[in-house]
Structure 1
Amino acid sequence: MTNTLLPTSIVGSLPKPAWLAQPEVLWSPWELSGDALVEGKQDALRAAVHEQRRRGLDIISDGEQTRQHFVTTFIEHLDGVDFSRRETVRIRDRYDASVPTVVGAVSRRQPVFVDDAVFLREQTDQPIKWALPGPMTMIDTLADRHYASREKLAWEFATILNQEARELEAAGVDVIQFDEPAFNVFFDEMKDWGIAALERAAEGLRAETVVHICYGYGIKANNDWKATLGDEWRQYEESFPLLQRSTIDVVSLESHHSHVPLELIELVRGKKVMLGAIDVASDEIESPEDVADTLRRALAFVDADKLIPSTNCGMAPLPRGVAHDKLSALVAGADIVRSELAGSDAPR
């Protein structure tokens, strides 16, 4: 990604400006349409890049400013999915949602995010990262009335994602992230074919690859689910040993203010770790020392040259100013630990 020690990055979304979408509402409808929407999305992306650079982040992303939903915005550009035919399904065994239906063979007629990625590349000479939904999380956000097999549909999506990822790489994207929160729920499928489908999505890429596995946005359904998980959240124990042996370069996880035992990071020893050091389920802004403490404790289980300080998840539902100040806290906390490591023998 970069030669900087402890390079900072966000996982995914940032809040959109009020003129583009309703503030603090996840997956809010657009306030603009037509050419004004196209221009507004680019203005919002440009502003997101400006804030990340102004706050000192090392790896820059689009903040998902040009998409409403981290999964369905990709799916709506594919053939074989009918958005007018909707069904209610259980998302990650957590909450019900109205979703589109797979009615035929899925395919990608043209690139989905490449034009936006080109625009992002034009905004900065720093490394840039782009997030895509993972195959398992995609199938969990649909009603399937064609394949009648979650595995078959996941493999189709993995092929489509690989096509998109290769074109994003050609457009200048340095880091490609696949979001797989479903890995924290469907353990048997994850082991049987989920990891393999993820590797298919990343096959042949020269860009650095990331899999992001979290406990979800800071919304009530996710927070209620977390409250049932007890004093220790050990879901990563299921996926990390498999990911350690996978072709994926970086494992991204939720940590700060969670009940994830940090020693689980040891299970991916040798991989880079994108560690969530910012809580996205609270408006409280972390102090730099809060962030630094989370990073220090993680360094017992991951070498410093493989640690990437980040956010727990996306920040779309947060107040915009809060999210931006959390970016500053992330960078300041990483700076503290960098200074401490400068005089140590830690791997660099």
Structure 2
Amino acid sequence: MKTLLPTSTAGSLPKPSWLAEPEKLWSPWKLENQALIEGKQDALRVALQEQKKAGIDIVSDGEQTRQHFVTTFIEHLEGVDFEKRKTVKIRDRYDVSVPSVVGTVSRPNAIFVNDAKFLRAQTDKPIKWALPGPMTMVDTLYDDHYKSRKDLAWEFAKILNQEAKELESAGVDIIQFDEPAFNVFFDEVNSWGIACLEKAIEGLKCETVVHICYGYGIKANTDWKESLGSEWRQYEEVFPNLQHSNIDIISLECHNSSVPIELLELVRGKKIMVGAIDVASNTIETPEEVAATLRKALKYVDADKLYPSTNCGMAPLSREVARGKLNALQAGAEIVRKELTT
């Protein structure tokens, strides 16, 4: 029987301190060679156990095997030079030193497929795997070759499609594409961003998600959010076209955000991952707070299409806080399940 309101995380979980420095993005590995491979697998087991213990319905690797949600994928591609770096403004809000595209991009080997097979072997639950979206990949690089964001994104979409098909074959049930850039570059999203995303999911039979949030709970993102005023209406710009796209599930930030919940009306009919956990705060939500967010969403999303989740990844949080938030997510979803079935 299909689970009503199946819970999941939108992305990362904190890494154990023996693998990488905790509560930090881009934290370097503390292990090397075979010890690193085994350490990543052990961390994946721990992340899976945390999710199982909390009762999370759709589990993931917690992104334990990668340093960063975009750059770890790019590191495995041909045509990108990590030594040749330039400073660019990412997501139109903060400067970062990034690698350069210096030639035709290609994927010589599968990137996350062995990790996904390992996760699949550890659990009978549905598994979700996250990949960077084409536009967000472009926005995390300096392009010294294609000289066209659209052309580079299209090449990345083809590469992502190769990886996604192999992940599906490895037993992944849901493939999520992380596109925070969709909340920034609206004209590009509507003119070619969604088309690139559809290229990335071409031919897939598993479910697909586009995750569009306002970013991790790091200062650059929280400062930006404070500048957006009392209503964050960015989703309004892209939801109408996403509603007509082939993407199955749309993931967005709801709890402790200023997103008007009625914007969900623009994607009625789609499955929605509703972010009911604030990843920019160390305060652990109460189950009732989670339930309140889900009840608001249910005015615009049919119950069989609502997937309670976190706003974004929890890598910058402590393991204790992340564990508490997972428990609250599941407990809040259970409150609403009972209301819907009694």
TM-score when normalising by structure 2: 0.99
Q: Which residue of 2 aligns with 1:327?
A: 326
Deviations 1:49-83 (A, max 9, x none): 01100110000100000000000000000000000
1:9 counterpart = 2:8: yes
Q: CA deviation at 1:27?
A: 1.5
1:124 counterpart = 2:126: no
Amino acid at match of 1:149: S
Q: CA deviation at 1:26?
A: 1.2
Q: Which residue of 2 aligns with 1:176?
A: 175
Partner Cα separation in structure 1 for residue 149 and residue 88 of structure 2: 14
Mapping for residues 18-29 of structure 1, pairs under 5 Å: 18-29=17-28
Q: Which residue of 1 aligns with 2:263?
A: 264
Deviations 1:126-182 (A, max 9, x none): 000000000000000000000000000000000000000000000000000000000
SS at match of 2:317: coil
Partner Cα separation in structure 1 for residue 26 and residue 62 of structure 2: 13
Amino acid at match of 2:255: H
Corresponding pairs, count: 342
SS at match of 1:42: helix
Q: Which residue of 1 aligns with 2:135?
A: 136
Q: CA deviation at 1:3?
A: 1.0
Amino acid at match of 1:329: A
Partner Cα separation in structure 1 for residue 91 and residue 125 of structure 2: 35
Partner Cα separation in structure 1 for residue 263 and residue 175 of structure 2: 24
Amino acid at match of 1:333: G
Mapping for residues 209-224 of structure 1, pairs under 5 Å: 209-224=208-223
Amino acid at match of 1:58: D
Partner Cα separation in structure 2 for residue 18 and residue 153 of structure 1: 36
SS at match of 2:105: strand
Amino acid at match of 1:67: R
Q: Which residue of 1 aligns with 2:147?
A: 148
Partner Cα separation in structure 1 for residue 154 and residue 124 of structure 2: 35
Q: CA deviation at 1:8?
A: 0.2
1:255 counterpart = 2:254: yes
Q: CA deviation at 1:14?
A: 0.2
Q: Which residue of 1 aligns with 2:243?
A: 244
Identity of aligned residues (%): 74
Deviations 1:182-237 (A, max 9, x none): 00000111011000000000011001000000000000000000000000000000
SS at match of 1:60: coil
Runs of 4+ aligned residues of structure 1 deviating over 3 Å after TM superposition are none
Partner Cα separation in structure 2 for residue 64 and residue 27 of structure 1: 12
Q: Which residue of 2 aligns with 1:96?
A: 95
Q: CA deviation at 1:245?
A: 0.1
Q: Which residue of 2 aligns with 1:200?
A: 199
Amino acid at match of 1:127: P
Partner Cα separation in structure 2 for residue 324 and residue 163 of structure 1: 34
1:68 counterpart = 2:60: no
Partner Cα separation in structure 1 for residue 228 and residue 157 of structure 2: 30
Gap regions ≥5 residues in structure 2: none
